[in-house]
């Protein structure tokens, strides 16, 4: 249990996808202009990461691995299968949500296609491979990373909503300021690094 809590807390705070590894920056910068849309994208990312990391774990270990379905090392197909899985999952999620919850669809709908090419999603799958998580750990990691993204983008959106009323130099307005804020937030999150939550929950 301590292990899992360790992975979960680390993926949210110490190893935050956005603020420590700077993955998923494109949508992070593009959709963080207001808190409302940020919540939508954040929720969609949690959803997709929690689904795709375990699915990709399954593909990586049970199909591509040497002890998998075909009994040979098929890791060269990893990128293609991962991204195809992600694209397919996103499409499926989109269709399911549209059918069963139109309200949720109208909230998340426009963000879902954006998520396929969000580095954080593929990054999550690739980190899961390089860190050799097992199934439960992978699921925890997927959810935690998604939640980390959610927190980061909401913080960012809140700051950007405020900064609109400040006298920022013209050329720095918008994108330039967004970069600067993200950098400062990243440095602030660095204060958390090196904390080892696992030690407290054994």
Partner 1 sequence: MAETATQTVPEKEPLFGKKERKLLIDPLNDNNPITVQVLGICSALAVTSMVKPAVIMALSATFVMAFSNLTISLLRKGIPKQVRMIVQLVVIAFLVTIVELVLKAANYPIWKQLSVYIGLIITNCIVMGRLEAYAMANKPWRSFLDGIGNGLGYGILLVMVAVARELFGKGSLMGFKIIGNTPDCLIDTTTNAWFGWYMQNNIMVLPAAALFVICVIIWVQRARNSKLVDIS
Partner 2 sequence: MHTNRYTLIYIVVLSFIVAVVLAFTFSGLKPIHDANEAVFKKRDILSSVKDQLPIDIVKASTEEVLEHFDASIEQVVIDANGKVVEGAKADDIDMKQEEKKPLEERQYPIYIYEGAEAKYYLIAIRGNGLWDKIWGTIAMKDDFNTIAGVSFDHVTETAGLGAEIKDSEAFKKAFQGKKLYNDNGEYVSVAIVKGGVKKPSHQVDAIAGATITSKGVTEMMNRGLAIYLPYFDSLKK
Contact footprint for partner 2 (CB under 8 A): 15, 76-77, 80, 130-132, 193-194
When the beta carbons of 122 and 155 are compared against partner 1, the nearer one is 122
For residues 159 and 96, give the distance between their C-alpha atoms in angstroms, rounded to a whole number.
34
User: Given the rule CB under 8 A, which of 45-53, 64-72, 113-121, 132-140 is the region that contacts partner 1?
Assistant: 113-121
**105 DSSP 8-state letter:** H
**Three-state DSSP state, 131:** coil
Minimal distance, residue 60 CB to partner 1, in Å: 12
The one among 7, 9, 14, 23 contacting partner 1 by CB under 8 A: 23
Handedness of CA 181, 184, 186, 191 (dihedral sign): negative
How many other CB atoms sit within 10 Å of the CB of residue 165?
Answer: 7
3 state DSSP class of 85: helix
By a kind-dependent CB cut-off of 5 to 8 A, residue 136 interacts, out of partner 1, partner 2, none, with none
123 interacts with partner 1 by CB under 8 A: yes
Tokens of 169: 């130099």
Task: Quote the tokens at residue 90.
Answer: 């996103």
What gap in Å lies between CA 136 and CA 3, rounded to an integer?
11
- Give the integer Cα–Cα distance in Å for 50 and 187: 27
Tokens of 199: 């030690």
Binding characters for partner 1, 163-182, by CB under 8 A (x = yes): ------xxxxxxxxx-xx-x
11 counts as binding partner 1 under rule CB under 8 A = no
Please identify, using beta-carbon distances, which residue of 47 and 141 lies nearer to partner 2: 141
Shortest distance (Å) from residue 155 CB to partner 2? 22
Q: Which residues bind partner 1 (CB under 8 A)?
A: 20-26, 29-30, 76-80, 82-84, 87-88, 113, 116-119, 121-123, 126-127, 130, 169-177, 179-180, 182-184, 186-187, 190
């Amino acid at each position: 249990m301590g292990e899992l809590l360790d992975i979960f807390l680390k993926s949210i705070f110490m190893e935050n996808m956005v603020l420590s590894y700077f993955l998923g920056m494109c949508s992070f910068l593009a959709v963080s202009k207001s808190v409302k849309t940020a919540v939508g994208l954040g929720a969609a990312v949690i959803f997709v990461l929690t689904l795709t990391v375990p699915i990709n774990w399954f593909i990586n270990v049970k199909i591509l691995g040497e002890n998998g379905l075909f009994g040979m090392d098929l890791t060269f197909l990893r990128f293609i299968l991962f991204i195809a899985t992600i694209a397919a999952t996103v499409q499926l999620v989109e269709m399911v949500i549209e059918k069963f919850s139109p309200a949720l669809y109208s909230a998340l709908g426009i963000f879902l296609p954006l998520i396929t090419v969000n580095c954080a999603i593929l990054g999550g799958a690739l980190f899961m491979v390089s860190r050799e998580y097992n199934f439960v750990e992978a699921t925890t990691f997927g959810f935690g990373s998604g939640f980390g993204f959610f927190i980061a983008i909401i913080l960012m959106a809140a700051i950007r909503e405020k900064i609109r009323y400040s006298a920022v130099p013209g050329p720095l307005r918008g994108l330039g300021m967004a970069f600067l804020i993200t950098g400062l937030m990243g440095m602030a999150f660095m204060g958390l690094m090196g904390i080892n939550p696992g030690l407290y929950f054994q």
